């Protein structure tokens, strides 16, 4: 039976209770990147209250550098204009030590592109040149190729979330920004009972995939974060390689990122989304993950129903054959 990882949030769980969607095919994902440890624990308790047999995934934020502490929750950026960020406006306060003048930064799943112009150690701030327009929000990722390999694998919040997962005996822990088997082994030494889902979202993880697959039964390909390392137009070929290698190794594969993006605002999917969903599920994967679609989207139940309907379509074809 294929699985759906559905991310809980203001939409699913709060506006739409789990009783409206609950089934054995669902795994409820808590995105550990959002909220305090106390807030995350409230999510765990509420999920168990609404569905006492729920399968829960604690998705660790990992060593992804994220924006933080914007006074109004965001800053405005303009193309070809400079802007400043202070060292403390990142979740990893020593991020500046890994930067060099001229570095290209991709932010918010590669929507924004910046260039590092200067690093002011005296005033503890960084000067950027923006190549994009928009609002840069709190908790959005900052990515520079090659920087990830020099960061510690687990930040403090990851360790606290693992402790919380152990406390509540959660079913799954998702490891973010895994680079090699050593990272998985480090997490294993801390995780007590949960099954591990190793996310493949860095070029290092792809290069070390054989060894990572020896450590876990589940992997998840996060296509959004992977794109920042391998390039947007290379994602399809990398996805195909990862999925085929994992299936050959008898591992279960989840895919993530924007399967039903339009349904954040609309009650029905687009034709391209349905075709991609159908082809993806036919590729032999174990399941897929809905993120913003269920966490903050207006139609979380409808999103889940669309995927279940696609499951049924594929299943009926198989029975006919």
Q: DSSP states of 115-168 as a string?
A: EEEEEETTTTEEEEEESS-EEEETT-EEE-TTTGGGS-SS-HHHHHHHHHHHHH
Q: Where are the domains of the chain?
A: 3-64+152-320, 67-149
Mean per-residue pLDDT of the chain: 94
Give the Cβ contact number of residue 25 at 10 Å.
16
Distance separating alpha carbons of residues 193 and 168, to the nearest angstrom: 10
Amino acid 315: pLDDT? 83
Position 320 confidence tier, pLDDT thresholds 50, 70, 90? low
**CATH topology agreement for domains 3-64+152-320 and 67-149:** no
Per-residue pLDDT reduced to its tens digit, 20-60: 999 999 999 999 998 899 999 999 999 999 999 999 999 99
pLDDT at 183 over 70: yes
Write the DSSP symbol of residue 16.
B
Distance separating alpha carbons of residues 28 and 55, to the nearest angstrom: 6
* Residues with Cβ within 8 Å of residue 78, at least 6 apart in sequence: 130, 133
Per-residue pLDDT reduced to its tens digit, 262-308: 999 999 999 999 999 999 999 999 999 999 999 999 999 999 999 99
| 112 φ/ψ angles, rounded to the nearest 5 degrees | -110, 150
| Topology given in CATH for the domain delimited by 3-64+152-320 | TIM Barrel (3.20.20)
| Topology given in CATH for the domain delimited by 67-149 | M1 Pyruvate Kinase; Domain 3 (2.40.33)
pTM of the predicted protein model: 0.86
């Amino acid at each position: 039976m294929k699985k759906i990882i559905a991310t809980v949030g203001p939409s699913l769980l709060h506006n739409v209770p789990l009783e409206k969607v609950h089934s054995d095919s669902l795994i409820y994902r808590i995105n550990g990147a959002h909220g305090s440890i106390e807030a995350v624990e409230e999510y765990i308790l509420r999920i168990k209250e609404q569905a006492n047999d729920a399968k829960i995934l604690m998705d660790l934020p990992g060593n992804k550098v994220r924006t933080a502490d914007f006074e109004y929750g965001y800053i405005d950026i303009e193309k070809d204009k400079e802007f400043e960020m202070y060292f403390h406006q990142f979740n990893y306060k020593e991020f500046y030590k890994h930067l060099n003048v001229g570095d290209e930064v991709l932010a918010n799943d590669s929507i924004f592109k910046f260039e590092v112009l200067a690093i002011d150690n005296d005033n503890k701030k960084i000067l950027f040149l923006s190549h994009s327009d928009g609002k840069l929000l709190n908790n959005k990722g900052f990515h520079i190729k090659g920087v990830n390999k020099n960061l510690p694998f687990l930040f403090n919040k990851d360790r606290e979330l693992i402790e919380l997962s152990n406390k509540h005996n959660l079913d799954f822990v998702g490891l973010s920004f895994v680079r090699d088997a050593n990272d998985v082994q480090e997490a294993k030494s801390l995780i007590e009972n949960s099954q591990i889902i190793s996310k493949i979202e860095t070029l290092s993880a792809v290069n070390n995939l054989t060894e990572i697959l020896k450590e876990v039964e589940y992997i998840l390909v996060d296509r959004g974060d992977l794109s920042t390392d391998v390039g947007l137009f290379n994602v399809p070929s990398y996805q195909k390689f990862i999925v085929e290698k994992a299936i050959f190794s008898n591992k279960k594969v989840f895919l993530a990122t924007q399967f039903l993006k339009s349904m954040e605002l609309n009650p029905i999917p687009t034709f391209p989304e349905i075709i991609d969903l159908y082809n993806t599920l036919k590729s032999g994967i174990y399941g897929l993950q809905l993120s913003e679609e269920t966490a903050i989207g207006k139609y979380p139940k409808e999103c889940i129903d669309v995927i279940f309907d696609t499951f049924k379509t594929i299943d009926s074809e198989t029975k006919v054959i």
